[in-house]
Amino acid sequence: MKKLSVLLFALFGLAGVSMAQQKAQLTVVIKTPTVQCQECKERIEKYLSHEEGILKVNEDFKKKTCTVTYLTDRTNPENIKTLIANAGYDADDITAEPDSYKRLPLCCKKTEDGGGHGKKD
């Protein structure tokens, strides 16, 4: 009986340590109003997927939102917004980095009327 108690205590103790070591995950939705097309979607998803701590990225260019699941001990929403801006797109209240925006294909740039696809800035 004593051995069984010690064994159960050890099992539950290890399970508690294992649970404490799991990293906290959160999901954030960021407005990406300058995203225009499928190419923009792919560019953002690829760019963010290489960042440490980001587990999942889904850019919805029709809704103009980016949903990101990340590890809280590795990154945060402000870093994610900055990454999107560094890729050349606006992210919530952070404006796209000008040099990155210039390197975007013409179809991914917004026009005077707010749309993309064809007009040059």
- Note the pLDDT tens digit of each residue in 59-90: 999 999 999 999 999 999 999 999 999 999 99
In a domain, 70, yes or no: yes
Encode pLDDT of 23-44 as tens digits: 799 999 999 999 999 999 999 9
In a domain, 2, yes or no: no
Does residue 55 register a pLDDT over 50?
Answer: yes
Confidence category of residue 111, pLDDT binned at 50, 70, 90? low
In a domain, 81, yes or no: yes
Does residue 109 register a pLDDT over 70?
Answer: yes
Please report the pLDDT score of residue 117 as a whole number.
43
In a domain, 121, yes or no: no
In a domain, 69, yes or no: yes
Does residue 3 register a pLDDT over 90?
Answer: no
- Any idea what the CATH number is for the domain that residue 79 is in? 3.30.70.100
Does residue 121 register a pLDDT over 50?
Answer: no
Instruction: Report the mean per-residue pLDDT for the chain.
Output: 83
Q: Are 27 and 67 in contact (CB under 8 A)?
A: yes
Domain that includes residue 27, residue range: 23-108
Does residue 4 register a pLDDT over 90?
Answer: no
In a domain, 10, yes or no: no
- Residue 110: name the closest of 121, 100, 99 by CA: 121
**Sequence-ordered alpha helix ranges (H) in 1-121:** 2-21, 38-49, 77-86, 98-102
In a domain, 14, yes or no: no
In a domain, 117, yes or no: no
Tally of structural domains, the chain: 1
